[in-house]
Structure 1
């Protein structure tokens, strides 16, 4: 016969009550519920701000597709298969990158990937004469621009790839994406004079009424906030929509009219838009 179970001690009961108070009282059923619980945990000091920001970005990364963050074809730095060593070095110095698509005559004929570190062996004068780019070219991975970032990140990790060439629905080269591009969507830090990156929201209205949005803002959330119907057919984010409409990655100060809105880029780099000023017409 089993001995009767002892009632919990006062300390145990107090500990249970304390822990219960830290947990959400209702089960999270949507992503918004999870984010609200995380926000509350951050406000209560249970989760550090940096950790909260990262977890928030992790929640949104699956909404993004490769076409939203890729380096467009027009901005790609590449080497040609017939390039000599000095020509390859010039491209690497000018761009500052460590991986390069290798093309054969046309940008649509990408035959491999070149790693900058593979050239170190040929800095010695004795080895320069033996340089042949064809021998150093590594296999290239092609992916569709519609692939979601969480899936791509898993593939990068599994296959130990750091770069992939992006193709459109017709098989033409659309751009390239690296594992660093994907990780930036999770751990990246955007610095801007508006300090919008310090705000947990993707939309911020400043004191003068100016509206600043992060480029990763999903179009669906933009539509809900502004009570409008911008198309989500070809892009999932505002940054992707602006880049696609302009036709390239816009520089700071470039703007475009879409429906009743004026979108002005206020922070971008050679790869993507970061922050956008929105004005309603």
Structure 2
């Protein structure tokens, strides 16, 4: 290169550094692209997004292509810089070893600043601005350097298999926890109410039917063996559209009656227990421990909206409706958009709360932002009895999960009312 002027070599060196910066920035930009936004843009017809998405399907090939170009440019830049540096430093009576050291130091600083840190930082902040135009150039480079890229990928593929890596295709699937983080970090992009609904949907598999069911003792049901006048009265006064019908014992359930059907039968002269039984809907049973997401799908599959939760012995533990599951997602159905105060929780002037001990612990935690344990009994009554291993008497004080509690009322072998103070810090 003796016949090439130093100024020409400097211009060529400058061009090589610019090309190196392009490759460095392209690599960072392509790898920093939001894959989900990229897919959205690609599905909307953005050609640059389609090219980028196609190349990112095989990141090993993309990285191989960029690194081949970047290393070739950097090696060539190093050679030219050495020649230019030697020519410049030859007039300063500096020995060869010192000249090489100075050239190496200067070139390293220049490449780090102008060909690595600056372009990569800019590309990380504005990935689409760099990646989309670059994808056009990289596409043609991939065709031009295809044989070299394939050879490089084959060699690296063999080495990766020795390290136990057999699949180098990009996998952008999000785990449930990662998706939860995405929803949390969406900020103002997703309204808070919608965030809560999305997170509730993700939690459905962690919640079982026992967590939302109406307990056996609270089921509104009709005993078909009662006096017929009493049955008529129960039908008229029913707070629900579907009512369980049983014989003497709730475990001997015979079916559900839809209030609309019962009222229609009452308007006819031949209304009797026999006609009521004929109008019953078939029972649908739900095994204890069924996750809510599974049960939601089962309700849809079986085209039903209500079921009885049974334990391993077939005994009825409670009742679950489709509405109970939907309320886990969207909150309680009320006529107001504002959350309705719970009838089971009553704030006192001293800052404590009088709570109906039959309340579901998950509902209590959700409403009061408390953290009573939910991996055992489902009600506050059950939690207290499990903790004490006995049925307490009134005015018994205890501490559970850092919360001071006082049993206020006990009846029928159950804790009825509890006084709870906020968690001690």
Q: TM-score, normalised to structure 2's length?
A: 0.43
Q: Aligned partners of 1:95 and 1:145: how far apart in 2?
A: 27
Query: Mapping of 1:78-89 within 5 angstroms?
Result: 78-83=221-226, 86-89=229-232
User: How much does 1:90 deviate?
Assistant: 2.3
Gaps of 5+ in 1: 1-6, 9-13, 21-25, 194-207, 248-254, 265-275
Q: Say whether the 8 Å CA contact 2:362–2:374 is kept in structure 1.
A: no
Residue 205 (structure 1) aligns with = none
CA 1:148/1:142 → structure 2, altered by over 3 Å: closer, same or farther?
Answer: same
CA 1:123/1:151 → structure 2, altered by over 3 Å: closer, same or farther?
Answer: same
Residue 111 (structure 1) aligns with = 254
Q: Say whether the 8 Å CA contact 1:263–1:279 is kept in structure 2.
A: no
Q: Say whether the 8 Å CA contact 1:121–1:127 is kept in structure 2.
A: no
User: How much does 1:50 deviate?
Assistant: 2.5
Q: Report which of the two has the higher share of strand.
A: 1
Cα deviations by residue, 1:64-119 (Å, 9 ceiling, x for unpaired): 01111111111011012235664334224444111111111111111111111112
Residue 252 (structure 1) aligns with = none
Gaps of 5+ in 2: 1-46, 49-125, 133-170, 333-338, 343-350, 354-360, 386-396, 407-419
Which of 290, 302, 308 is 1:165 aligned to?
308
Deviates further, 164-173 or 92-101: 92-101
Q: Say whether the 8 Å CA contact 2:212–2:320 is kept in structure 1.
A: yes
- What is the DSSP-based 3-state SS (H/G/I as helix, E as strand, rest coil) of the residue aligned with 1:279? coil
Structure 1 or 2, whichever has the larger Rg, is 2
Q: Say whether the 8 Å CA contact 1:28–1:34 is kept in structure 2.
A: no
Which of 389, 395, 400 is 1:258 aligned to?
400
Q: Aligned partners of 1:277 and 1:58: how far apart in 2?
A: 31
CA 1:15/1:128 → structure 2, altered by over 3 Å: closer, same or farther?
Answer: farther
Which of 181, 200, 221 is 1:36 aligned to?
181
CA 1:28/1:58 → structure 2, altered by over 3 Å: closer, same or farther?
Answer: same
CA 1:148/1:126 → structure 2, altered by over 3 Å: closer, same or farther?
Answer: same
Query: Mapping of 1:5-44 within 5 angstroms?
Result: 16-17=128-129, 29-41=174-186, 43=187
Cα deviations by residue, 1:40-69 (Å, 9 ceiling, x for unpaired): 22x2x3223332221011111211011111
User: How much does 1:243 deviate?
Assistant: 4.8
Q: Aligned partners of 1:155 and 1:243: how far apart in 2?
A: 30
Higher relative contact order (CA 8 A, sep 6+): 1
Q: Aligned partners of 1:113 and 1:178: how far apart in 2?
A: 12
Deviates further, 140-149 or 130-139: 130-139
Question: How well do the aligned residues superpose, as a CA RMSD in angstroms?
Answer: 4.1
Query: Mapping of 1:26-175 within 5 angstroms?
Result: 29-41=174-186, 43=187, 45-83=188-226, 86-128=229-271, 132-175=275-318
Q: Say whether the 8 Å CA contact 2:262–2:276 is kept in structure 1.
A: no
Cα deviations by residue, 1:120-148 (Å, 9 ceiling, x for unpaired): 32233534369622211111011122111
- What is the DSSP-based 3-state SS (H/G/I as helix, E as strand, rest coil) of the residue aligned with 1:51? helix
Q: Say whether the 8 Å CA contact 1:256–1:262 is kept in structure 2.
A: yes
Q: Say whether the 8 Å CA contact 1:77–1:91 is kept in structure 2.
A: no
User: How much does 1:165 deviate?
Assistant: 0.7
Query: Mapping of 1:157-196 within 5 angstroms?
Result: 157-189=300-332, 190-192=339-341
Q: Say whether the 8 Å CA contact 1:122–1:131 is kept in structure 2.
A: no
User: How much does 1:179 deviate?
Assistant: 0.7
Q: Say whether the 8 Å CA contact 1:99–1:113 is kept in structure 2.
A: yes
Q: Report which of the two has the higher share of helix.
A: 2
